């Protein structure tokens, strides 16, 4: 938050609004960028999931990264 100087209360608030608008714009751009992906939902036995995640962790991969690699092949 910007702290206005003496006599600049209104101007300071205008600057703050401008920064809030910039922040909102950045969030919108980030949201549009993330919209280029799709979600994949799958049901799997809990024990299988746990074992697979342990293996992936030992390989330094997240489940998301592993699925992405699988889909790209």
27 with 43, same domain: the answer is: no
Rounded to an integer, what distance in angstroms lies between the CA atom of residue 60 and that of residue 66? 10
Residues 21 and 51 in one domain: no
- Please check whether residues 43 and 31 belong to one and the same domain: no
Residues 45 and 73 in one domain: yes
CA distance 53 to 46: 11
Domain that holds residue 29: 1-37
33 and 45 in a common domain: no
- State the pLDDT at residue 12: 47
The count of structural domains within the chain is: 2
Q: pLDDT (tens digit, 0 to 9) for every residue of the chain, 73 residues total? A: 555 555 544 444 555 555 565 555 555 555 555 567 888 888 999 999 999 999 999 999 999 999 999 999 9
pTM given for the model: 0.49
Structure-token match 């992405």, residue found: 68
pLDDT of res. 71 = 92
Q: For residue 10, what pLDDT is reported?
A: 47
The pLDDT, as a whole number, for residue 38 is: 84
């Amino acid at each position: 938050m910007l702290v206005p100087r003496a006599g600049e209360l209104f101007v300071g608030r205008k600057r703050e609004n401008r920064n809030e608008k910039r922040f909102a714009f950045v969030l919108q751009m980030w949201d549009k960028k993330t919209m280029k992906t799709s979600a994949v939902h799958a049901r799997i036995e809990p024990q299988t999931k746990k074992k697979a995640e342990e293996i992936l962790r030992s390989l330094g991969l997240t489940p998301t990264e592993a699925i992405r690699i699988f889909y790209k092949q």
